[in-house]
Structure 1
Amino acid sequence: MPTWTALTTLAEKARAEALGEALDALDPAPTGVGVFELEDGSGLWEVGGYFTETPDDIALALLAAAHDAKPFAVSKLPETDWVAHVRRELHPVEAGRFYLYGAHDADSLPQGAVGLLIEAAMAFGTGHHGTTKGCLLAVDRLLNAGKLPQSVADIGCGTAVLAIAAAKVLQRSVIASDIDQVAVDVARANAAANKVAELVHCVEAAGFDHPDLAARAPYDLVFANILKGPLIELAPSMAAHIAAAGYAILSGILNPQADEVVAAYRAVGMDVADRFELGEWTTLTLRKR
């Protein structure tokens, strides 16, 4: 399927976010919109959209002018087999006792490692992202400290790599949820590929809003590798569903955002037990008072 990109830059975060919202309302609508601060020290923000239909040049020009942005640069991307490309380019990831790999790297699994087989998937990634590695390292640190959670949930599970990791190392039932039913189907397939289908229970839910999630609470450990905004919104519900002295491992947090997330969780009775950065991402391990 052909894909077009439309990219522009402008100053000030608020204006960039407003342009991103306006871009999302175009017809034909973009399949995705991104708003990012450039890392070159210029103070500029990039706003971009991905389209599966040719974008409306006139509408883009009007949007750029209305938001005092540079004219959009529109490009048609070459059609690429991204799954094959990912298989060629991605290498296994080691995170403490865990070893994340694709089937093409199965021969490289170290003896004694907890293998996590996650194949390239266009819609939901491979689990190789730095935020996923941060979560795996965080749970490895908890395990090394002698913490063995009895009840575990993975909220916003995506590929379910974190739920699979917990199920494999603890040999206990873990519940994984995502707001997208297709993601839930992918999670189930990944659990089966890792031979833990009977241990990983996958449900479609926003946050903890599912009877199966409520039935298993309170949790000793909850993963939530999502984004800053949803994490902050989730804080009261997270605290309500975690047992006293239980843990939450959070990521999807850009380093400058971490203090805001910490403050939101401290306000609901959860304190930082561990915190570290991997590149531009922060992983937090929080403990309920």
Structure 2
Amino acid sequence: MATWTALTTLPGREPAEALGTAMEDMTPAPTGIGVFEMEDGSGLWEVGGYFDGRPDAAALALLAAAFGARPFAVSELPETDWVAKVRRELAPVQAGRFYLYGSHDADTVPEGVEPLLVEAAMAFGTGHHGTTLGCLRAFDRLVARGEPPGPVADLGCGTAVLAMAAARVWPGVPVFASDIDPVAVEVAEANVAANGLADHVRVLEAAGLGHPELQSAPPFRLVFANILKGPLIELAPAASAAIAPGGWAILSGLLAEQSDEVAQAWEATGLIVDRADEIAGWMTLCLRKT
């Protein structure tokens, strides 16, 4: 069965979410709706729906006009085995000592690496994106410098690859992985179990540090936050307070032009930028608490 998509953009989170909610009442009803902030610094939000049949063009036009959105772009998608496609196109990734691979590439794992099995799924963080890759490389450098281990929090964990990396090289320390998205939490739990780390990584559904276990766990030696500019700025005071003196924050999800603003927000809470690295237009910041 063919799938149809209808996509539009508009400024502002509240009108975008309201438009997404209004789309639920369409006939035919969409099988899925997504509302995302675009990562190009434009301030626009993308709203999209998936349909099993051609969506009602008149209804889409009325919704776009009512919420101040651009006209919907409607497209028919070919039938595709997306998991097979992702598996073909996502080759293994090496980031320092860490080697990320899918089960279909299990025979490619070289000796002398820390292997992390990450299956293709509906969560962010396979290691191919510049943000996840940058975080892994930053953590690898800390380990190589002999940074002493301590409790770790991976906030907005997606696939939990960063939490798993910490659990792999810092065995025995408490490691927490949290995400606001319940789908990501399920994916993270599956990946943690597949890597034999279920007893070492605690996966939680939470926004930021908004979970009792996270609030009682600090001080953290390391906090990962690979999310977006806005949430990173909002998170700075609470996360900084949860980091032990001399501890670290590794931040990403940032376009290069957004990094100064995020760095200033975190430096205002008592951390200093130790290093900033850019990969394909995406920045990773490594900060230390003084």
Cα-to-partner distance string for 1:28-75 (whole Å, 9 max, x where unaligned):
376113464889xxx9x7955232365442243345567887643211
SS of match in other structure, 1:139 = helix
Taking a change above 3 Å as real, the CA distance of residues 125 and 169 of structure 1, as seen in their structure-2 partners, is closer
SS of match in other structure, 1:217 = coil
CA drift of 1:139 comes to 0.2
* Residue-pair matches, total: 282
Please say if 1:151 is aligned against 2:151: yes
1:27 touches 1:56 (CA, 8 Å); kept in 2?
Answer: no
2:16 touches 2:45 (CA, 8 Å); kept in 1?
Answer: no
1:98 touches 1:114 (CA, 8 Å); kept in 2?
Answer: yes
SS of match in other structure, 2:23 = coil
Q: Separation in 1 of the partners of 2:21 and 2:186?
A: 29
1:37 touches 1:46 (CA, 8 Å); kept in 2?
Answer: no
CA drift of 1:26 comes to 3.2
Q: What is aligned with 2:193?
A: 192
Structure 1: state its 5+ residue gaps.
none
Taking a change above 3 Å as real, the CA distance of residues 47 and 212 of structure 1, as seen in their structure-2 partners, is closer
TM-score where L is the length of structure 1: 0.86
SS of match in other structure, 1:105 = helix
Q: What is aligned with 1:205?
A: 206
Please say if 1:50 is aligned against 2:49: yes
TM-score where L is the length of structure 2: 0.85
Taking a change above 3 Å as real, the CA distance of residues 76 and 234 of structure 1, as seen in their structure-2 partners, is same
Taking a change above 3 Å as real, the CA distance of residues 108 and 3 of structure 1, as seen in their structure-2 partners, is same
The code of the aligned residue for 2:98 comes to F
RMSD: 2.8
Structure 2: state its 5+ residue gaps.
25-29
Note the 1:1-289 alignment, pairs <5 A. Answer: 3-7=3-7, 15=11, 20=16, 23-28=19-24, 31-34=33-36, 36=38, 47=46, 49-52=48-51, 54-62=54-62, 71-124=71-124, 126-173=126-173, 174-289=175-290
SS of match in other structure, 2:190 = helix
Percent of residue pairs bearing the same amino acid type: 59
